[in-house]
């Protein structure tokens, strides 16, 4: 159980999105960011979506990660209802043809209502982007992100050295 008040919100259209969306929660946890998670369907529970989006800022949320598949309206509609940054995760769901429907319905937002769309099923990157948004105004978190990136680079160097090592 997290004690601190959540500053990042993860929402998804269905519990069937959870196996993908869990990666966002894992990243936030890794960086020590208090988060909350919920099922909020744009189509099945539109009023719940309105309530979630309109109350998020007042409740202390500073960034929202929203995942959905198929006719994936949740990220865009959430973005239309709040001034908080919204990161959209297109999910390749059971009702998705091949993922493009999810991607395009989250990506192709009209001017004035941006959604930062990550790659198909890329909830991990959504988590990382949320951390970066929060870190822009938080030096300690920014340091942690620099460290994460340095570790990632070191891993590539290590892999390259292994590849070039003579048998
Ligand atoms: C979308 O429909 C959800 O986000 C999910 O990706 C997809 C399928 O939902 P279920 O039928 O599995 O509940 O709204």
Looking at the DSSP bridge assignments, the partners of residue 90 are 68
User: Can you tell me the distance from the alpha carbon of 85 to that of 49, in angstroms, rounded to the nearest whole number?
Assistant: 16
CB of 95 shorter than 6 A to ligand 1: yes
Q: What is the domain extent for residue 89?
A: 8-136
Domain with residue 85: its CATH number is 3.40.50.1970
Mutate to test the pocket of ligand 1, among 10, 12, 15, 17 (most ligand atoms within 8 A of CB): 17
pLDDT of 1 reads: 47
Pair 29, 92 in one domain:
yes
CB of 13 shorter than 6 A to ligand 1: yes
Stated pTM of the model? 0.96
Pair 110, 150 in one domain:
no
Pair 163, 132 in one domain:
no
User: Can you tell me the distance from the alpha carbon of 104 to that of 109, in angstroms, rounded to the nearest whole number?
Assistant: 9
Pair 152, 118 in one domain:
no
pLDDT of 33 reads: 98
Pair 23, 105 in one domain:
yes
CB of 102 shorter than 6 A to ligand 1: no
Residue 70, Ramachandran bin (φ over 0: left; ψ between -120 and 50: alpha; else beta): left
How much of the chain, in percent, has pLDDT values that exceed 90? 96
Pair 120, 153 in one domain:
no
Written as six digits, the tokens of 123 are 């909830």
Pair 128, 144 in one domain:
no
How much of the chain, in percent, has pLDDT values that exceed 70? 98
Query: Residue 165 C-alpha to ligand 1 middle, in angstroms?
Result: 47
CB of 90 shorter than 6 A to ligand 1: no
Pair 87, 149 in one domain:
no
* Class of residue 145 by CB neighbours under 10 A (exposed 0-12, middle 13-18, buried 19+): middle
- On whether residue 1 sits in a domain, the answer given is no
Pair 69, 130 in one domain:
yes
Number of domains in the chain: 2
User: Can you tell me the distance from the alpha carbon of 142 to that of 145, in angstroms, rounded to the nearest whole number?
Assistant: 5
Q: Say which range, 19-28, 30-39, 143-152, 158-167, has the weakest mean pLDDT.
A: 158-167
Query: Residue 137 C-alpha to ligand 1 middle, in angstroms?
Result: 35
């Amino acid at each position: 159980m997290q004690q601190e008040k959540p500053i990042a919100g993860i929402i998804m259209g269905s519990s069937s999105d959870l196996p993908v969306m869990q990666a966002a929660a894992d990243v936030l946890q890794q960086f020590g960011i208090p988060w909350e998670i919920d099922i909020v369907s744009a189509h099945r529970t539109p009023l719940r979506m309105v309530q979630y989006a309109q109350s998020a800022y007042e409740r202390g949320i500073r960034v929202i990660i929203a995942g959905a598949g198929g006719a994936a309206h949740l990220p865009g509609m959430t973005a239309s209802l709040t001034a908080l940054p919204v990161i959209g995760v297109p999910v390749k769901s059971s009702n998705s043809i091949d993922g493009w429907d999810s991607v395009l319905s989250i990506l192709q937002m009209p001017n004035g209502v941006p959604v930062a769309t990550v790659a198909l099923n890329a909830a991990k990157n959504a988590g990382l982007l949320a951390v970066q948004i929060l870190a822009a105004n938080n030096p300690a978190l920014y340091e942690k992100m620099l460290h994460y990136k340095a570790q990632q680079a070191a891993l590539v160097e290590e892999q390259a050295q292994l590849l070039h090592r003579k048998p």
